[in-house]
Amino acid sequence: FRVADDVLRQGVQGISDIITIPGLVNVDFADVRAVMADAGSALMGIGIGSGKSRAKEGAIAAISSPLLESSIEGAKGVVFNITGGQDLT
């Protein structure tokens, strides 16, 4: 259960961070709620990248996670957040 607990922790932490930490493009609870309202099933992926292409690597890893049993193909809405250091461009 340790792996499942960690995935759940990362998911809750990710949503909390999206809602509470201001970013270059601000996403708040209203945005998350609007995307999820009457949306049916939800998926959440978390990806990590490194090096020059870390944002792209992380995004690809998030939607390619072996823990996701479904694809994001056909999604009607997406909340997407990238977190990185000051040198992320």
| pLDDT tens digits for range 59-89 | 998 888 766 777 888 888 888 888 888 887 6
pLDDT tens digits, 16-66: 888 888 888 888 888 888 888 888 888 888 888 999 899 899 999 888 876
At residue 67, the pLDDT reads 67
Q: Which long-range contacts (CB under 8 A, 24 or more apart) does 52-57 make?
A: 54/84, 54/88, 55/82, 55/84, 55/88
Q: What is the pTM of this model?
A: 0.69
Phi, psi for residue 11 in degrees, rounded to 5: -65, -50
